[in-house]
Structure 1
Amino acid sequence: MSSQPSSQFARPRVDARALLGLYDPKDATDWGPIRAAQLQAGGQLALFLMAANVIGAALVVMILAGSAPLWALAAWGATVAAVAAAVTFRRLEARTGTERTASVRQIRDTVLEGIGLGAIWSVPPLAFGAAAGPGVGFGLWMVLTTLMLASGVATAALPLATLSFMLVLGLSAATMLVFVAGPVVAAAALLMTGFLMIGTFTRARALVVGRIQEIALAERDETVSLLLREFEEHEADWLWETDANRRVVRASARFARAVGLDLVTINNMPFLQVLAGPTWEAGNFSAGLRLLAEKLKTREAFRDLRLPVIVDGEERWWEIAASPRHDDRGAFIGFRGVGSDVTEQRKSADKINRMARFDTLTGLPNRLYINEALAQAMSEADKWGSRCGFMMIDLDRFKAVNDTLGHPIGDRLLSRVSERLQQLVTDNETIGRLGGDEFAVVMRDASDTMQVQRLAQSIIDQLSRPYELDQHTLYIGASVGVAVGPRDGRTSDALIRSADLALYRSKDAGGGVFHAYEPQLHVQAEERRVLEMALRQALAKGELHLNYQPVVETTTGSLSGFEALLRWTHPEHGAISPAKFVPLAEEARLIAPIGEWVLRTACKEAARWDMPVRVAVNVSPEQLHSPNFVTVVAQALAQSGLPASRLELEVTESVFLREGTGALTVLEKILDLGVRLSLDDFGTGYSSLGYLSRTRFSSIKIDRSFVQGASRGVKECIAIIRAVVALAQSLGMATTAEGVETEAELGLIQELGCSKVQGYYFGRPLPVEEARTVASHARRSAQAA
């Protein structure tokens, strides 16, 4: 802690130059009012100084009557009186002025007054004193010394003028005394003059310091008055006081108004009764009032204590603080404190708290509230040896609604979902929205396994019912993951993780179902995590490679091209199925760099084939949603030297589900490069004939599931293939049947009219060297034909 005194009470330092009026300092002190105070103080004894000058002049005339001509003395005396009167009137004018500030120039100009008076008073000692003899000289010295003392008393507040006056008189007197009494006496006179000047300067500084402190006190008083006036006008706070028996004494009018009572009634009432109001008789006290009673009982100081108070039938919230009072002998005599009405602040705090814990769209508890509820439920379950439950709910097909109908419809759908969920829960459950289309349920008592399962199934059934919104009939569903604590997790985070894994299993199963957590799910999740970490490094480590599956003409059996298929061989885990790592790459946002590598590698390899056949590359929706993808395709073609007509990009119908992403624009720009487009897996997803009109596809690929179904005689599959072929022919598109593995399947495909076939019957996905061999063989066969 600093040993320096507080700035409020420390003696201020005064700059000597500012005190004399030689310059205006640029510090925190405002010298304008101080200079005005100097001028006013200089005029307080102006008449006294004038009288001193007149009397002194008369004495000088009397002393020099026999040593100087009377006319000269009379003229000099008249001049002294005139100059002294002028100086006096000027200082009186400054004293009676209303100006609250003064400039440096006004202080500096007073030096002329001092020098002028000093010059006039230096005439007698210099002109007459030196030749008049010691008696006259000492007499003049006494008069001059008296004038210097009078000036120091009367005008010390104007140090520049006073010091100038003293200096001129002191030098004149010393000069005279050199001739009259010798240099030693003259030196003594100069020393005395110096002491008088030092005393005058010290007194001037003391006066200024006093004035600075007065100004500071005035400013502080003005600030306090302003605060008190603000306090009185707003009536937001009041004072209260009790005696040793905790009864109200000397109640203020504001305190009485605050509690809705008059001064006569409130005085001598128990303080707790005043605050309890209607609840006093029933004894139904709030927690805040009970705490206040305890503080008063223990005679302990307190602050920031909030409690509800009923005033005129309305609940208000007060914040009070108080300290115990003791008399001179140390005996307790009661409490004195202050109170404030903080009702509005509490309402604002409650609103902020609700916003922090409740979802603004649905009004349901949000993630923070759910986490708190789950932690409380787990604490209770641990305390009583029971079980609690946690459900994670994810809406099925909600993303398709958002993408096709827009977010406003999606938000209204979420509100309808929340309404249905609220109808299902009881006092045992708390339901909330975690964000997006994810919801959660906390079950405080989950001891009955069948009850937990019934609730999960009820949620799925209710949310799967159709929704009517703006003339749209919407069908979504729900997947649920269930975890029970502490069996599936001893902490909130662990239980949430377990429910999330169970939900992930429900989503993998196609949605519309619920699954309870099993330890095996954690093993699978860990495997998935390890696989994702390995996949992030697979491209840099060269673990990815491409195989090429032949695509042949149905009628001639000649090679039409290859489809590039991505493969991953891990040094420890071996060959990993694309069905496992491709979805993982899409989820981990790794598909874009991997897809770019596939495209560049496939183009570079196709440019080396002897036979100029096409290479087909699968493109994910994430790649097409990037405007930069067109540049990637153009660079791959330019760097490899592959003609654009030999590159075919295969896209799925899911690329059309996200409106407003620019994917169609990207496809059109790719077509402008001369690249061909193929619609992959037609008929297996959200198939719509409208997709075929969105852009210029060159071919349609029929999924292997339809080919296999047709080979087994499934009429629906045969009808679908026949319809797709007819549609493609009418639109000038080719058709490619995937998954042809037997001669019977080939015959059926030829009969149904597909243009091209692809499958194990003609070749499995081949390594690079074998694909080059097949291409060379096809070239030789074509030349021989």
Structure 2
Amino acid sequence: MTSLAEPSAAESTTASPAWRPLLGLAEGADPAEWGRIRATQIHAGRQFVLFLLAANLVGAALIVMLFAHATPTLMLGGWAAVTIVVAVAAAMRRLATPKAADGYATVADLRGAVGEGVALAAVWSVPALMFGAQPGSAAAYGMWMVLSLLMTATAIAMAPLALATMAFLGLLGTIVGIRLAVAGDVVAASTTVLFTVLLVIACLNRARSLVMIRAAQMALGERDETVSLLLREFEESGADWLWETDAARRVVKASPRFAFACGLDPLAINGMPFLQVLAGPTWESGNFSAGLRLLAEKLKARDSFRDLRLPVHVKGEERWWEIAASPRFDERGSFCGFRGVGSDVTEQRASADKINRMARFDTLTGLPNRLQVNETLVRAMAEAEKWGSRCGFMMIDLDRFKAVNDTLGHPIGDRLLSRVSERLSQLMGDSAMCGRLGGDEFAVVIRDARDAHAVEALAHRIIETLSHPYEVDQHTLHVGASVGLAIGPRDGRTAEMLIRSADLALYRAKDAGRGVYRAYEPQLHVQAEERRVLEMALRKAIENNEMYLAYQPVVDAGTGGLTGFEALLRWTHPKLGAISPAKFIPLAEEARLIGPIGEWVLRTACAEAAQWPSHIRVAVNASPDQLQNPGFVSEVVSALAHSGLSPERLELEVTESVFMHEGLGATRTLERVLDLGVRLSLDDFGTGYSSLGYLSRTRFSSIKIDRSFVQAASKGVREAIAIIRAVVALAKSLEMATTAEGVETEAEHQMVQDLGCTKVQGYYFGRPLPVEEARTLANRWDEARAAA
């Protein structure tokens, strides 16, 4: 069935029929539509076949009468016989076509009629060419009259078959015109040609009109079919109904289906106010829905409406209807009521509500998702702005959640998130709503945050409640929470700005050691901008030659002899000046820049160490991100190969955080590096998540004792002294060296030496040196060693 939204082929043909398909010289744009049109053309040609046969017979008889005395009988009789045979054959062929006009015909069927026209033109050309009538004679005049009438009759009878008619008229008119011109009667010849052209034009116009009429009939038929189908679907559907009211808005002519939908008797519903029918039990109380009030306004204003949804009560059950209507006016223009349609859209509304809930609620926890949190915050900010009040926004990040996911798997992590969401929901009061932003991030929107103490107390309760242990699938899990708070509109005039402020406060809470709450402060934006500028500068620091290495001596604790240097990265920006590694190293790790920076450090340090005496090593720090890169081993091999440094002179320093995510491949990477002959040192042992298991399974050559223990031990802190002794004893049992960091005085040096440390590093033996000074120091110690 043709779409109502687009014109059909029949409609296109109605507007402008194509001449080639009309004549049968080509197929139409829509073969099916043109097949039906060709069938109509052939049928129209069939209707006048007897008229055309009679015209041919009468014409032949008149020609015989005109030339009976001037033409031999045999010739005249033979021509008449042939003419009758051709005319009868053409008529029989036309009568053999289908009687109905609603079939289909091919292009070949239409072209087949051309032969009939040519044959008739051939036999009717004989009198003009062979019967010898002299121009100007009565016989000639009579013959031209007979031929003119015959051509006119053919143009009328065969016009639907335009190509066949044009063949007959064109061929016969041309022969007659030539005959007259040859005989010297130019006027008669010109008149004949003009007469022929006029007949051809009339024939084409009639054929075109026939095609347009047939195309219009087909278009109307398609429309009727479409309307009938829609009406049939409407009548067969039990979910739609018609309704009608009078000028007083009372129901009239209520259909059984409408009464059934309302749950009322068809006889009782007539005459009831339409609004009362829809209001149901609320009619008496006046507690109308917003949709019913809007409908009342439309009816009162006599305005058309559509897609109006409102709740109705049918037999104690709430249903949702969608109605549309237009006002009715009589022939005098007087208003006489409304007529409209209605549908029960309860199921559609339920589906829409479900989709809307899925779009606004987190499927895992059931909490509002990021979209609804944002919408709620926007409304809270608008209310705060309107009433001069305050609203609050908290961002919550779970501490140590990633370790749960990495060690126990995502299913356990998902169940843990569900438990967290349950605890959060229980903490929310009437003015607060919590939601999940994604991952292990949650948020709380506080609609009324005028009481700063209450807001702060809520933040502390959240941290305390979420930090209690969780029992999940026989696992006891410990996670904490960090909270960042922003107050609107003080900390942000828009929802986006307030979220950004809370995010900065959360970042500050994480920096403070996690498990704490921090409120937004204006300088956080300054710090965030500083970080952004610093990150942009950091991305260009290497290519701009802004970074360099300083080398801090590492000496033997007993002899004080130089054993090596630790390569330390430094950065001096042309505008920002010297930037602390404590500031840009974490930024590089966060921005995923530590990989290329670390590779540059490794290559530069190896190239410099290759110029030192052969017994002096170089230590290079390797970050966890580098070790998780499968190409790190290739970087080490390349650095050693290009510099010519022997592997045993390179020492990689790693921290205990490398082993927190063993599944990421860091341990396997270290084993492959050790297989090259490179030495491995465990840096800052005792300050993180220490594990003796990794010490026994990984081939470390030394352990570095953090300077915080050295400083504390020098002040007589018993715990620090005990830790250093324990580390030294552990290292000796595992055949590892121990390096004490941060030694700044002779007393500290003597202390760590007495405690058994084998190597020392600190300002007492030298600050980090520029490359030239480090090279000079290495050569001086080598000369002193050789002299000794």
TM-score normalised by length of structure 2: 0.90
Q: Secondary structure at the match of 1:319?
A: strand
Distance 2:475 2:533 in 1: 44
Does the aligned pair in 2 maintain the 1:133–1:180 contact within 8 Å? no
Counterpart of 1:545? 548
SS of residue in 2 equivalent to 1:394: strand
What residue number does 1:79 align with?
Answer: 82
Does the CA-based 8 Å contact 2:14-2:213 persist in structure 1?
no
From 107, 114, 119, the counterpart of 2:117: 114
What is the rounded CA distance, in whole Å, between the counterparts of 1:296 and 1:694 in structure 2? 85
User: How do 1:704-723 residues align onto structure 2 when only pairs under 5 Å count?
Assistant: 704-723=707-726
Letter aligned with residue 357 of structure 1: R
Q: Where do 1:440-479 residues align within 5 Å?
A: 440-479=443-482
Determine if contact 2:135/2:185 at 8 Å carries over to the other structure: no
| Aligned ranges 1:684-763 → 2 under 5 Å | 684-763=687-766
Query: What secondary structure, in the 3-state scheme, does the structure 1 residue paired with 2:60 have?
Result: helix
Contact 1:403–1:657, Cα closer than 8 Å, also in 2: no
Q: SS at the partner of 1:361?
A: coil
Deviations 1:208-246 (A, max 9, x none): 232233333333333333444444444554443322212
Q: CA offsets, 1:186-218, max 9 Å, x none?
A: 544444333333322322222223223333333
Q: Structure 1 residues 25 and 743, CA, compared in 2 at 3 Å: closer, same or farther?
A: same
AA aligned to 1:663 is A
Distance in structure 1 (CA, Å) of the matches to 2:257 and 2:112: 56
Q: Among 84, 98, 102, which residue is 1:95 paired with?
A: 98
Q: Does 2:321 align with 1:318?
A: yes
Q: Distance in 2 between matches of 1:244 and 1:129?
A: 88
2:656 to 626, 646, 653: 653
Aligned counterpart for 1:20 among listed residues 12, 23, 32: 23
1:565-624 Cα deviation digits (max 9, x unpaired): 223344565544322332233223332233223222222221222354111111111122
Shift of 1:425: 1.1
Distance 1:574 1:172 in 2: 107
Cα shift at 1:156: 1.0
Separation of aligned partners in 2, 1:509 and 1:270: 70
How far apart are 1:533 and its partner, in Å? 4.6
C-alpha RMSD of matched pairs (Å): 3.2
Letter in 2 for 1:217: L
Q: Distance in 2 between matches of 1:491 and 1:340?
A: 42
Instruction: Tell me if 1:778 matches 2:781.
Output: yes
Distance 1:67 1:543, change over 3 A: closer
SS of equivalent to 1:43: helix
Residue 3 (structure 2) aligns with:
none
User: What secondary structure sits across from 2:550 in the alignment?
Assistant: strand
Q: Which amino acid aligns with 1:266?
A: I
What does residue 413 of structure 1 align with? 416
Residue deviations 1:3-31, cap 9 Å, x none?
xx999589533444433323335589943
2: CA distance, partners of 1:179 / 1:585: 105
Residues 672/231 of structure 1: CA separation in 2 closer, same or farther (3 Å cut): farther
Structure 1 pair 39/777, CA: closer, same or farther in 2 (3 Å)? Answer: same
Equivalent residue for 1:273?
276
2:700 is equivalent to residue 676 of structure 1: no
Structure 2 partner of 1:144: 147
The more displaced of 191-200 and 129-138 is: 129-138
Q: How many residues align?
A: 781
Compared CA separation, residues 161 and 550, structure 1 to 2 (3 A): same
Residue of structure 2 in register with 1:428 after alignment: 431
Contact preservation (8 Å) 2:696, 2:734? no
Which range moves more in the overlay, 336-345 or 103-112? 336-345
Cα contact 2:121–2:169 (8 A) shared by 1: yes
Contact 2:40 2:102 in 1 (8 A): no
2:346 to 343, 346, 352: 343
Aligned mate of 1:400, from 403, 422, 433:
403
Determine the C-alpha separation between the residues in 2 that align with 1:174 and 1:764.
122
Q: 1:311, 1:692 → 2: CA distance?
A: 76
Q: How does 1:226-241 map to 2 (within 5 A)?
A: 226-235=229-238, 237-241=240-244
Q: CA deviation at 1:536?
A: 4.3
Do structure 1's residue 211 and structure 2's residue 214 form an aligned pair?
yes
Give me the whole-angstrom Cα distance separating, in 2, the residues matched to 1:694 and 1:110: 100
Contact 2:682 2:702 in 1 (8 A): yes
* Equivalent residue number for residue 364 of structure 1: 367
- For the Cα contact (< 8 Å) 1:243–1:334, is it kept in 2? yes
Letter in 2 for 1:426: G
* 2:603 is the alignment partner of 1:590: no
Query: In structure 1, what residue type is equivalent to 2:400?
Result: R
Task: Judge conservation of contact 1:129–1:176 (CA < 8 Å) in 2.
Answer: no
In 2, Cα distance between equivalents of 1:133 and 1:296: 86
Tell me, what secondary structure is at the counterpart of 2:785?
helix
| Residue in 2 that maps onto 1:302 | 305
Contact map agreement 1:137 1:180 (CA 8 A) in 2: no
CA drift of 1:630 comes to 2.7
| Unaligned residue ranges in structure 1 (runs of 5+) | none
What are the superposed Cα offsets for residues 94-136 of structure 1, whole Å, 9 maximum, x if unpaired?
A: 1327883323222222121112122223334443352799333
Mean CA deviation greater in 37-46 or 324-333: 324-333
2:154 equivalent to 1:154:
no
Partner letter of residue 337 of structure 1? Answer: G
- Following superposition, the deviation at residue 401 of structure 1 comes to 1.8
Alignment check: 8 A CA contact 1:367 1:434 kept = yes
Q: Distance in 2 between matches of 1:436 and 1:240?
A: 53
Query: How far did residue 464 of structure 1 move?
Result: 0.9
Q: Does 1:244 align with 2:247?
A: yes
TM normalised by structure 1 equals 0.91
Q: Does the CA-based 8 Å contact 1:238-1:254 persist in structure 2?
A: yes
Q: Is the 8 A contact 1:137 1:176 kept in 2?
A: no
